Structure 1
Amino acid sequence: MPRILFLVLTLSQLSLAQITVLDSLTKHPVSYATISFGNGNGIFADDEGKFVFTKKLYPDIDSLFISALGFKNLNIATANLPRELLMQPQADALDQVIVNVKRNRKFKAETLKPYLDDDYYHCWLPTIESEIAVYFPKTSTKDQKLTSVTFPMALESKDWKKRKRANSDKKAFSTLFKVQFYANNKGTPGKVLSYETMVFRATEKDGDAYTLNVEAHNIYIPKEGFFVSLQVMGYTDNTGKLLPNKKYKEIKTKNGIVKIPTNFRPLLPFTDGIEAKNTYIKRVFINGNNWVKFDKGNGFKSSLLDQDLYNYGIGISFKTFKDG
C-alpha cells in the first residue's frame, strides 16, 4: 500500500508539472522542442510537445529559452508558468537545394561504410548538452540523393571481464536520438536542409550500428557538401516514449552545487581511420553557441584527442543519378 500511494502521488505531481509546447496557429504539439535553462543545461519536450518543469525540480531556474526547427525562439519566465506555451511558426522558408522532378531516373547506388569499434576507451559518452555533426563532401557533379545514414554504436558487456567476447550479454538501454542535416557554411554546419523532425530509438538489440532510412525526406547533397548530426535526447520507456528524467546530476562541493551532465548509452565510437578532421561539436543548451571542430587546441579536454581519435565514423548511402 505505501508503494502504491507513493506512485500515485508521484504521477500526480508529474501531471501537475507537465507543460505542453504548441504551434500558435494550428495548436498542434511542437515535438521534441529544446528547453534551455540558460546555464548550460536543459531538457527536451517529447513527441507530444510535453515536458515536466517545477521550481522544486529546478529551484535555481527563473526563465526558459525554447527553440524548435521552423519556429521563432521563445523566452518565458518560470514564475506563474502556464500549462501551454505557444510558439510562432518561422516565416522564412528553406532554400530549395534542387527541384525534385518525379520521373524514373537511372542511378548508381553508393555507400560509405561506418567505422565500427567496440573498445570502450575509443568512445564518446553522449550527453544531451552536446550535438555531434560530421561533414560529408559531394563526390560527383551529378545529382546525389541521400538514402540512409548509419550511426556506429558500442555496446557494453554486463560482465566487465567478458567485454572482449562477442557473445557476452550486453547492458540494456532504450535511448532516443534526434538527427539533423545542415548545409556547409564555409566549413561548419550552417542552415538546416530539412525542417522535418527525425528521431530514432536505439536499443542493445540493434547491435553495433543503427541505420536510419531518410530517402523519403528528399535530401539532395549540395555542391559544398553537408553535415549530418546526432543528439541524444534521453532514455525512453519500452514503447519509445521519452522519459521526463533530469538530464544532469547535482554534486555538492565546497564551492557550491556543480551540475554534471548525465551520460547516456550507447557509447559512440570515434576513429583515427579518417584522414580529415570532419567532426564538429556544439553545446546545444547555451544560447548562441557556435560549432567547434573536434580538435586539439579548440577548448576540448578529451582522452579521444589524446589518442588522435578525431572523428565519429558515420556511414551514408546515396544515389548518384546518371542524367543530372
Structure 2
Amino acid sequence: MHKILFILVFIGQLSFAQITVMDSITKYPVSYATISFGNGNGLFADDEGNFYFTKKLYPDIDSLFISALGFKDLNISTQNIGTELLLQPQADELDEVIVGAKLNRKFKKETLKPYLDDDYYNCWLPTIESEIAVYFPKTTTKDQKLSSVQFPIALESKDWKKRKRSNSEKKKFSTLFKVNFYANNDGVPGKVLTYETIVFRATEKDGDAHQLNVEDYDIYIPENGFFVSLQVMGYANKAGKLLPNKKYKEIESKNGMVKIPTNFRPLLPFTDEIETNNTYIKRVFISGNNWLKFEKGNGFKSSLLDKDLNNYGIGLTYKTFKDD
C-alpha cells in the first residue's frame, strides 16, 4: 500500500511538471538532452525532449544547464520556468574521420572479443552521473570501418544461492543506454565522431553482452585511434521509452539530506586481463569536467581498483579494407 501511494504521489507531481527541450528554429524536440542541476546531479530528456522538474521534486535547485550535441548550451533559472526550453543550433564541424567508401571494396572482417564476467563483485554499478569511455588503437594503416560493438553485461540470478548456475533464472531489467564515439585528443576522448544520437535498450535476454550494430553510421577508425563510451540513462519500457523513474535516493546525514545516485541494472563487468589501462571516466553533470583514466592515484575509491580491475572490456567487429 505504501508503494502504491508513493507512485500515485510521484505521478501526480509529474503530471504538472513536464518540460520539453526544442530546437529554436525547427521547433522539433531535442532527443536525450542532458539536464544538469549545477550541483553535480542531473537527468536526461527522453526521445521526445521531455523531462520532469518541479520545486517539489527538486527544492534545492535554482538553475538548469541544458546541453545536447549540435546545440549551444543553455543556462536558465528555475524561477517561473516554462514548459518549453529552446536550444540554438550550433554548426560545429566534425573531425575529418569519415573516408568516402568505394562500392564493392574487398575487406577482411575482424573481431576483438569482449571480456565477459558474471561475478557480481567484479562489476561497475552504473549511475546516470558517470560516462565510461574505452580507447581502441588503429591496428593497421589500411582503412577500417566499425561494424558492431559488444558491451559486456552481468546478469543477476533471482535466487542468490543459485547464482553460479548458468541456467538459473535471471532478474529482469529494461535499461536505456547512450553510446558516443570520440576522437583521440592527446590520449583522452575529444570531439565526437558522429552527431547522430545512438541509444539502445538492454535486457536480461541479451545474455552476457549486448551487440550494437553501427554499420550504417559509417564510422571509420582514425589514425590515432578512437574511444567508445557508454552512459546509462535510466530504465525504459518495452518500446525503449525512457521512464521518469527517480534517479536519486535521499539519505539523511549529519549535514542534512544527501542525494545518492540510483544504481541501474545491468552491472558492467571489469577485467584485469588487458595490459594497458584503456578505460576513462567522466562526471557528466559537471560542466567542463575532465576525463580521468580509471586507475589508482586519480582520486577514485573503488573495490575494482583494489583488485586491479582497471578496464571495461568492450568488444568490436570491424572491416579492414584491402588495398586496390
Q: TM-score if structure 1 supplies the norm length?
A: 0.96
- Residue of structure 1 equivalent to 2:41: 41
Aligned pairs (5 A) from 1:147-158: 147-158=147-158
CA contact (8 A) 2:70 2:195 kept: yes
Deviation at 1:257, TM superposition (A): 1.2
Unaligned runs of 5+ in 1: none
AA aligned opposite 1:185: N
- Residue of structure 1 equivalent to 2:320: 320
SS of the aligned residue for 1:142 comes to coil
Deviant stretches of 4+, over 4 Å = 3-12
- Residue of structure 1 equivalent to 2:132: 132
Matched, 1:310 2:286: no
- Number of equivalences: 322
- Residue of structure 2 equivalent to 1:214: 214
Distance 1:114 1:9, change over 3 A: closer
CA–CA distance in structure 2, aligned partners of residues 162 and 5 of structure 1: 34
CA contact (8 A) 1:149 1:213 kept: yes
CA–CA distance in structure 2, aligned partners of residues 202 and 143 of structure 1: 31
- Residue of structure 1 equivalent to 2:51: 51
- Residue of structure 2 equivalent to 1:251: 251
AA aligned opposite 1:181: F
CA contact (8 A) 1:43 1:246 kept: no
Deviation at 1:12, TM superposition (A): 5.1
Deviation at 1:96, TM superposition (A): 2.3
CA–CA distance in structure 2, aligned partners of residues 228 and 9 of structure 1: 39
Distance 1:272 1:222, change over 3 A: same
Matched, 1:21 2:18: no
Matched, 1:95 2:95: yes
- Residue of structure 2 equivalent to 1:74: 74
SS of the aligned residue for 1:280 comes to strand
Deviation at 1:4, TM superposition (A): 10
Aligned-residue sequence identity (percent) comes to 80
- Residue of structure 2 equivalent to 1:263: 263
Aligned pairs (5 A) from 1:138-177: 138-177=138-177
Deviation at 1:61, TM superposition (A): 0.2
CA contact (8 A) 2:162 2:168 kept: yes
AA aligned opposite 1:162: K
SS of the aligned residue for 1:227 comes to strand
CA contact (8 A) 2:98 2:219 kept: no
Distance 1:141 1:43, change over 3 A: same
SS of the aligned residue for 1:16 comes to coil
CA–CA distance in structure 2, aligned partners of residues 7 and 177 of structure 1: 24
- Residue of structure 2 equivalent to 1:226: 226
Q: Provide the aligned C-alpha RMSD in A.
A: 1.7
Instruction: Write out per-residue CA displacement over residues 247-306 of structure 1, whole angstroms, 9 at most, x where no aligned residue.
Output: 111111121111111100000000011000000000001111000000001000100000
- Residue of structure 2 equivalent to 1:275: 275
Moved more, 8-17 or 231-240: 8-17
SS of the aligned residue for 1:66 comes to strand
AA aligned opposite 1:70: G
CA–CA distance in structure 2, aligned partners of residues 7 and 313 of structure 1: 37
Deviation at 1:104, TM superposition (A): 1.4
AA aligned opposite 1:285: F
SS of the aligned residue for 1:135 comes to strand
CA–CA distance in structure 2, aligned partners of residues 5 and 247 of structure 1: 19
- Residue of structure 1 equivalent to 2:118: 118
Distance 1:170 1:113, change over 3 A: same
CA–CA distance in structure 1, aligned partners of residues 300 and 38 of structure 2: 21
CA–CA distance in structure 2, aligned partners of residues 248 and 183 of structure 1: 32
- Residue of structure 1 equivalent to 2:106: 106
Distance 1:4 1:167, change over 3 A: closer
- Residue of structure 2 equivalent to 1:193: 193
CA–CA distance in structure 2, aligned partners of residues 257 and 9 of structure 1: 20
Unaligned runs of 5+ in 2: none
Distance 1:279 1:159, change over 3 A: same
Deviation at 1:98, TM superposition (A): 3.4
AA aligned opposite 1:217: Y
Q: TM-score if structure 2 supplies the norm length?
A: 0.96
CA contact (8 A) 1:184 1:226 kept: yes
CA–CA distance in structure 2, aligned partners of residues 32 and 294 of structure 1: 26
